[in-house]
Amino acid sequence: MSAFVRGMRRRIMLLVSLIAIASFGFFAGAAAQGGYDGGNGQGEAPVSPALTIVEPQEGANLSGDTITVAVNVTNFSLVDRLGAANVPGEGHLHYYLDAAVPTNASAPAITAPGTYVPTVNTTHTWENVTAGEHNLSVQLVNNDHTPLIPLVYQTVNVTAEGAAPNVTPTETPSPNITTPAPPGVVIPNVSPTMTPTITPAITPNVTPNATPNVTPSMMPELPDLIETAQQDGNFTTLLTAVDAAALTDTLRGEGPFTLFAPTDAAFANLSNATVESLLAEPEGDLTEILLYHVVPARINASGLEDGMNLTSVQGSNLTVNSTEGVVMVDNASVITADIPAGNGVIHAIDAVLIPPDVNLTALIPTTPMQTPAVEPTPPAGQNVTVDLVVEGIAFDQNTITVPVGANVTMNFENRDEGIPHNFAAYTTSAATEPIFVGEVITGVDSITYTFTAPEEPGTYFFRCDVHPTTMTGSLVVE
């Protein structure tokens, strides 16, 4: 074989090798650019859920009294399993109107009735929106309504013009002219059928309440801390204590203040004896405790930084801790942040804060605490009525006692707007043998259930079938 032929063969083999290497590199590169593999073990990290409000835009001026909010959700499955067990990567949306986005990972992300809607739809229309500035928020939540952690939400601020006025203002200030002038035409004189008292020259006949000169951009002044707490509806016990301690005028003052406000549920964690002792001498420890919840400055949630100390009006320092989106003040969690008021801001908390120099143990009477009188239990077979309320995705009582074999009438009230609930009783917590399963209703609504209590005394189990792990209790039959 000639040297020429051997040389050609070597060149051909080298060329084939280069082509093979280039092809491998091309397909490997294409595979690398194939995108997220969903965390399938190929070495790529999962992509975090994301939410974007696509309509309306930040700062938009909107006509009419309806606002449609549209969102785009990625890397998260929207499923209609409200109240079911949590599954990573799935859940639903909460839309909020003029409400602070809840941040507590262990509590349902719900706000005041009428300010939130739970749904799997990527659009929601708010109706009858008043004229003025509003904030619109949308949040990703788990099946059990708790927020995703890290938090995934977005807020936009818009201005609504509100409903169109019934009378189109003209250049004539008289409120008695019912027919407006055509666009661009000024009518200087009223037709002969109109009385001359309508002319602008006669001002005493123009009543102030008919002046159509209020522009949509003018916002009414926000109410003070006391009125804001009253409107919220979750701070009844706090307001009672503030009134007893003669601090109402203080919290109506100029401020600004930050009020860490314990909810009614937070006060319910204190014993009746403790609350009664505090109210008996409101000028003492009760005043100290209430002032410990107030900071003489407006501090929004974004300013509550991990490790910071806040000096309260009472004089002692509050310690702030913030981890994984959950803000705590001393031993209480902030469950609803940034409730705006004219003289400050309210952060709702789930526990009553106690100053270091107040000893609650000393308030508890040494004599046994008297329990509320219990009505005699009707004999078996008689009729009994039970009232059960659901609010904040929780029953208002964890134990229901009925007599053996009683005919039970239950007045069931669901106060959670847009969220389904029911009452269901079972022989055990395994919930395999039902005693009674009530119809599911979506709040706000109510229903009357009737069922017969078991003939055997004992402690049975009840729950909400829609939220079976978080809403449970004991049905005591005796």
Q: Which two tokens stand for residue 320?
A: 């702030």
Dig out the tokens for 118 from the structure: 């739970």
Task: Kindly report, residue by residue over 94-119, the tens digit of the pLDDT.
Answer: 999 999 999 888 888 888 878 888 99
Which helix (H) or strand (E) is 139 found in, with range? strand 132-141
pLDDT at 5: 53
What pLDDT, on the 0 to 100 scale, is given for residue 323?
Answer: 81
Using CA atoms, how far apart are residues 63 and 138, in angstroms rounded to an integer? 21
pLDDT: is 195 or 266 the higher one?
266
Predicted local distance difference test score (pLDDT) of residue 322: 86
Indicate the pairing of strand 61-62 with strand 153-160: parallel
8 Å CB contact between 363 and 436: no
Mean pLDDT within 53-73: 93
pLDDT in tens, 398-437: 999 999 999 999 999 999 888 888 999 999 988 889 999 9
Peptide bond before 340: cis, by omega within 30 degrees of 0? Answer: no
Q: Return the pLDDT at 221.
A: 74
Residue of 157, 119, 163, 161 lying closest to 141 (CA atoms): 119
Q: What is the pLDDT of residue 278?
A: 87
Residue 222: which pLDDT band, with cuts at 50, 70 and 90?
A: confident
Question: Of 473, 396, 470, whose CA–CA distance to 144 is shortest?
Answer: 470
**What's the pLDDT at 239?**
94
What does the DSSP 8-state code read for residue 221? P
Q: What is the CATH number of domain 50-160?
A: 2.60.40.10
pLDDT higher than threshold 80 for residue 284:
yes
Q: Is the pLDDT of residue 376 over 60?
A: no
Looking at per-residue confidence, does 212 or 265 come out higher? 265
Check residue 2 and give its pLDDT: 56
Each residue's pLDDT tens digit, 433-445: 999 999 999 889 9
pLDDT at 14: 59
Maximum pairwise Cα distance, the chain: 125
Task: For residue 371, give Cα distances in angstroms to 133, 241, 368, 377, 478.
Answer: 50, 22, 9, 16, 19
DSSP secondary structure letters along 248-271 = HHHHTSS--EEEEEE-HHHHHTS-
User: Count H helices, E strands: the chain?
Assistant: 7, 26
Q: How far apart are CA 311 and CA 411, in angstroms?
A: 46
Task: Write the pLDDT tens digit of every residue in 297-347.
Answer: 999 988 898 899 999 999 999 999 988 778 899 989 999 999 999 999 999
Whose CA is closest to 137, among 106, 161, 107, 110? 110
Q: Quick one: angle between helices 236-244 and 272-280, nearest 10?
A: 30
Q: Which residue has the higher pLDDT, 92 or 3?
A: 92
Average pLDDT over residues 42-49: 67
Q: How far is it, in rounded angstroms, from Cα 449 to Cα 384?
A: 12
Q: Supply the mean pLDDT for the chain.
A: 79
CATH architecture assignment, domain 225-363: Roll (2.30)
* Residue 413 C-beta-side C-alpha neighbours within 13 Å: 10
Using one digit for the tens of pLDDT, what is the confidence trace for 146-198? 899 999 999 999 999 876 655 454 444 444 444 454 444 444 444 444 444 44
Angle at which helix 225-232 crosses helix 236-244, to 10 degrees, equals 140
CATH number of 383-477: 2.60.40.420
| Tokens, residue 309 | 């100390």
The CA distances from residue 450 to 255, 394, 397, 400, in Å, are 53, 21, 18, 14
User: How large is the average pLDDT for residues 204-220?
Assistant: 43
